[in-house]
Amino acid sequence: MDKWNHDEEPEDLNVSILLIESDIEQGRSMELELRRSGFKVFTATSHLRALSLLEDHKNLRIVLVQVEATDIGGFDFVHLLRHRNRFQNQHLQIIMIGSGEDFVRFPADGNSIDDYLLRPYFPGELCWRVRKAQKFLLNQKQIAAVHQMSISAGILTSSGLKRALHEELNKAFRKRSCFSLAVFELYGLESVHLNHGLMMAEWMERDLSAQIRDRLRSYDRLGRLDWGRYCLIAPEIDQEHLRLLLIRFSRQIAEWNESVSRNSHIRIPLEPQVRPLTVIPEFEPHHLAQATAVLWDWIIRLDGHVPVAAADYSSIVITSETIADVVIAEQDGSVQTRLAIKAPGITQPLPQ
């Protein structure tokens, strides 16, 4: 029998495969075939064990599901998995494995399985189906990179935020206006994680950040830096208006906490701590990239966050002299970070 043709290998996505197979010999054979093709495989002999592996290994992106029941049935497992993924940002490709009589039971809607493999399958078909799923994940990754944001929530990724910062600096420079930044952390997320589990913590972060985005102006930009850390870019907002914006923002989070407490068993509030800064760009056009780098270094700092009521609303004027001093200092190796530089063009040092 002819082997299935292998298309060109997709670029590495650093994904692993989860195989659910109760027959140990059959599972070992399938795992060996996948490993020979270069895939990293985790094997579970039951469906509930597979759920715990998905919690432990976030790079599991392709799941081969045995349709026959172990502790629960294959279709029940898929239902649980899809429900779980409504609250957790782990996009999976699900391939159901079964015999001919199970074929008519395979749901055809988009909320169930993505592909199926019927036993006995052709030589090479197992790896072909996995490569097909891998290519789909690669396409999704490329689409996300183009948009540089979570399309459903309208929140920028870290790379999208850096691009938005570059664009806002350029626009503010040309319009001779200012804009403001607010880096904030959601304190309390780690306690939710420890007391109520990762799924609940991730749901709370995602729901709150989406609600914050919905209350912003259409031209404000909200981006996620990492777990519980965000940055807001607010065009044409000075220090006083930034203070008022963050007070309103703090009240909104307090109302959200009350709603969560009222409608769930969660009693751990999420509290924002911030680092605000108003930026006035007065540099030469060819220094735009360096100015972006200076501000980005300030944004990604991990320290210096304080409660909104205690925040210091600073401003900074970025000039070409500022940028030149940054470049010279870096070449001399006299500073460890761009943010340590106190140049003549800055009305006050960048807040640490």
* Position 83 confidence tier, pLDDT thresholds 50, 70, 90: confident
Of 107, 125, 144, the one marking the end of a domain is 144
Cα distance between residue 97 and residue 164, in whole Å: 45
Side-chain-side CA neighbours of residue 104 (13 Å) = 1
Asked if 326 and 277 sit in the same domain, the reply is yes
Task: Judge if 177 and 123 occupy the same domain.
Answer: no
| Res 119 pLDDT > 50 | yes
Alpha-carbon radius of gyration of the chain? 25
Does residue 346 belong to any structural domain of this protein?
no
Quick one: 316 and 185 in the same domain?
A: yes
- What local confidence, expressed as pLDDT, does residue 333 receive? 45
Residues 61 and 161 grouped into a single domain:
no
Structural domain count, the chain: 2
Let me know if residue 351 belongs to a domain: no
Please report the pLDDT score of residue 188 as a whole number. 95
The reported pLDDT for the residue numbered 87 is: 53
Residue 8 forms part of a structural domain? no
Residue 352 has pLDDT above 80, yes or no: no
Q: Are 245 and 301 within one domain?
A: yes
pLDDT at position 99, please?
82
Do 131 and 165 belong together in one domain? Answer: no
pLDDT (0 to 100) of residue 10: 45
Residue 300 and residue 180: Cα distance in Å, rounded?
15
Same domain assignment for residues 195 and 114: no
Over the chain, what is the mean pLDDT?
A: 82
Q: Which of 144, 168, 198 is the C-terminal boundary of a domain?
A: 144
Task: Quote the CA–CA distance of 267 and 257 in Å, as a whole number.
Answer: 9
| Residues 159, 134 within the same domain | no
- Report pTM: 0.59
pLDDT at 339 over 50: no
Residues 233 and 94 in one domain: no
Say if 270 falls within a structural domain.
yes
What CATH code is carried by the domain that includes residue 86? 3.40.50.2300
pLDDT band (50, 70, 90) for residue 69: very high
What is the pLDDT confidence band of residue 111, given thresholds at 50, 70 and 90? Answer: low
How far apart, in whole angstroms, are the C-alpha atoms of residue 231 and residue 27? 46
136 and 177 fall within a common domain: no
Whether 1 shows a pLDDT value over 70: the answer reads: no
Q: What integer is the mean pLDDT of 329-333?
A: 48
**Residue 3 falls inside a structural domain:** no
Report the C-alpha gap between 208 and 84 in whole angstroms: 18
334's CB contacts (< 8 A; 6+ apart) are: none
Domain assignment of residue 235, yes or no: yes
Does the residue 350 lie in any domain?
no
125: tokens are: 């078909």
Confidence tier at 321 by pLDDT (50, 70, 90): confident
Q: Among 90, 123, 144, where does a domain finish?
A: 144
**pLDDT confidence of 125, banded at 50, 70, 90?**
very high
pLDDT attached to residue 7: 42
Lowest mean pLDDT among 29-33, 198-202, 301-305, 329-333: 329-333
**CATH number of the domain encompassing residue 308:** 3.30.70.270
Range of the domain at 180: 148-340
Question: Do 40 and 173 lie in a common domain?
Answer: no
Q: Are residues 283 and 185 in the same domain?
A: yes
State pLDDT tens for residues 142-192.
Answer: 655 555 655 445 688 888 899 899 999 999 989 999 999 999 999 999 999
At 300-320, the pLDDT tens digits run: 999 999 999 999 999 989 888
Determine, yes or no, domain membership for 51: yes
